[in-house]
Amino acid sequence: MRYVIAAVLVLLVAVVETSVLPSFRVLGVHANLMLVLLLSWAMVRGMEEAMVVVPMGGLALGLMDGQLLGAAMLALIPLVLLTEIREARIIEGEFLLAVLLILLSTLAYEVIILIILRVTGETVQWWGILSRVVVPAAIVNALLVPPVYGLLWLGSRDLRRPRPL
């Protein structure tokens, strides 16, 4: 049942991200709501579920946006690797770690997309894009972590319930 809910949520976010969010720009960029959702899912629900939900998100984005099929899924790979830091317990609270990881995940996601564009023959102005797109996108995504993370945390009561021995 949890993956059915995840699939519906991922498809809904993919539709919103590809149709509605491009109209709403903050700091000159639109948020990557899918990246925020997937990172928050991995932080709240754990790596086991992230290994299933992240590819769902990559496939949904790949099918709905104008990028090469598989580009989004490839760009989301570092997200799963970065959330492994959660298991290391470097920082006591997972929420602060989620905010820090979204900054790194956004950087990794956008750089991988830029590399894919460059490999396919597009011209990429690295420093201009990094300063005008990637950094503002990381800030906007970090601002979206609190509501998305909070809603997933509230919806994940089954993980916080004490388990019988």
- At 25, list the tokens: 């720009």
Query: What are 70-116's pLDDT values in tens digits?
Result: 888 888 888 888 777 777 666 667 788 888 889 999 999 999 988 99
Please tell me the pTM assigned to this model.
0.86
Sign of CA dihedral 119, 120, 125, 128: negative
Percent of the chain with pLDDT over 90: 25
CA angle (57, 15, 138) in 5-degree steps: 60
Residue spans of the domains in the chain: they are 2-160
Spell out a b/e string for 122-158, using b for 16 or more CB atoms within 10 Å of the CB, else e.
eeeeeeebeeebbbbbbbbbbebbeebbeebbeebee
